[in-house]
Amino acid sequence: MPREHKDNPGLDVNATGAREALSGLPGTPGREAREREAALERARAHGGQDAALCAPDLPGLSADLLYTLVSENVRDYAIFLLDADGVIRCWGESARLMKWWTKQEAEGSHLRLLYPDGGSEDGTAEAHLVEAAGKGEYTGEGHRVRRDGTLFWAYVTLTALRNPEGELVGFTKVTRDFSARRAVESALQRERALGTAREVGEASARIKRQVANLSHELRSPLQAILGSIALLERQLPAGVDRAHIERIQRNTRHLLALMDDVLELSRTDSGEMSLSPEVHRLGPVITEALADVEAQPIARGRTIVNAVSGGAGDVPFWGDARRVRQILVNLLTNAIKFTPRGGRITISGGTGERGRRSPAPAPGCTRAWRTPGAGYRPSTWRPSSSRSSSPR
């Protein structure tokens, strides 16, 4: 059923380019299709030739005033005309309402009148004129200046105008104020950024909870292992080599310590790692680290040489022995991994001048692993808080 049409005085709702009159009211199926058919018929009747000028014969309208009428009556856009040099020649009401420059002020001024000093984010007026002249059109977004010096975000289209001979005769400029749209887009971007940050934070918290739960679940079997080892140790007869049992106990306690570290992830993220620094001796920490990886070099056909002996083993350092041992185990594991079969890994340590970047170790302790023939470079560990041999 066709929609009812409310009469609009002065508007012929059945005006058409078709030869036959239209039937029905607006909304009647077929009216739009008939208009398209009539347009195709007119094109065929003119042999496909376009009129050279757009000079419609409308009662009460002078074709010479078409541009002026458009620039004066459009409201959502600012439309104005420039000559081939970029000087404003026609400034209508649409431009005045958006940019606030009067006709007397704008006409005769160059296009740069509307740009911030030094140009806008999208370039200068001169560059835009050159691009439009070369490519036929320039489109872009950037700040423009109103008469009172305030800025607004503009979406602009600068189009080159050419006569039938192809000569550049001027430019037409269409500007739309996108300040509101830009503000909405910025607000949406901030909201999306906040939403993403919240999602990342929630995901991180969820992972931490899962890791903490896993840590708790792993502690129970590790404690059971320690208990079983202690029971086995009591049942062993005197004189039996207990080195392997002690190694299992030490590594199980090390795993328990790692589980404690996992539970401190949230504190680590905030830069608060739990440490228990004390004065320790270099030799025992290296011996324990070597004992932890003792089986690895044998299985891989490597040799580890402990060059820390004599006085070097008694060198004191200030730090958390458990953390230092963990660092040494990680470095040794990497050295074993990247040393070719038959290679030798040497661990050494000592003291040296503080702060010097030289082969001499820093105070506290330094370990260097050398893997001849491998791509693994010597690795050095220096305690982050080196202190003297006496605690404070």
Mean pLDDT of the residues in the chain: 76
Instruction: Please name which of 171, 149, 150 lies closest in space to residue 162, comparing C-alpha atoms.
Output: 171
Q: Span 190-195, mean pLDDT?
A: 79
Give the Cβ contact number of residue 385 at 10 Å.
Answer: 11
Which residue is associated with the tokens 């508007």? 11
Q: Alpha-carbon torsion 242, 244, 250, 252, what sign? A: negative
DSSP string of 105-164?
HHTTSBGGGGS-TT-BTTB-HHHHHHHHHHHSEEEEEEEEE-TTS-EEEEEEEEEEEE-T
Task: Look at residue 138 in the predicted model and tell me its pLDDT.
Answer: 96
| Whole-angstrom distance, CA of residue 105 vs CA of residue 115 | 15
The predicted-structure confidence for 318-355, as pLDDT tens digits, reads as follows 888 877 887 888 888 888 888 888 888 888 876 655 44
Name the residue type at position 390: S
Residue 2: alpha-carbon gap to chain centroid? 54
| Whole-angstrom distance, CA of residue 305 vs CA of residue 345 | 6
The predicted-structure confidence for 359-392, as pLDDT tens digits, reads as follows 444 444 444 444 444 444 555 445 443 343 333 3
Length of the chain: 392
| 121 close to 108: Cβ distance less than 8 angstroms | no
The pair of three-digit structure tokens given for residue 90, joined into one six-digit string: 């026609």
| Whole-angstrom distance, CA of residue 211 vs CA of residue 262 | 7
Q: What is the SS3 assignment for 166?
A: coil
DSSP string of 286-342?
HHHHHHHTTHHHHHHT-EEEE---GGGGG-EEEE-HHHHHHHHHHHHHHHHHHSPTT
The pair of three-digit structure tokens given for residue 355, joined into one six-digit string: 């702060």
Of 92-96, 203-207, 248-252, where does the model show the most confidence?
Answer: 92-96
Task: Look at residue 58 in the predicted model and tell me its pLDDT.
Answer: 62
| Whole-angstrom distance, CA of residue 312 vs CA of residue 309 | 6
Which residue is associated with the tokens 């560059």? 127
pLDDT at 1 over 50: no
Q: What is the SS3 assignment for 113?
A: helix
Give the Cβ contact number of residue 114 at 10 Å.
Answer: 24
pLDDT at 285 over 80: yes
Task: Look at residue 325 in the predicted model and tell me its pLDDT.
Answer: 81
Go through the domains of the chain in sequence order and give each one's CATH number.
15-44 (no CATH), 67-177 (3.30.450.20), 190-269 (1.10.287.130), 278-381 (3.30.565.10)
Q: Span 253-262, mean pLDDT?
A: 74
The pair of three-digit structure tokens given for residue 361, joined into one six-digit string: 């170790």
The predicted-structure confidence for 95-150, as pLDDT tens digits, reads as follows 999 999 998 899 899 999 999 998 899 999 999 999 999 999 999 999 999 999 99
pLDDT band at 155; cut points 50, 70, 90: very high
The pair of three-digit structure tokens given for residue 266, joined into one six-digit string: 């949230």
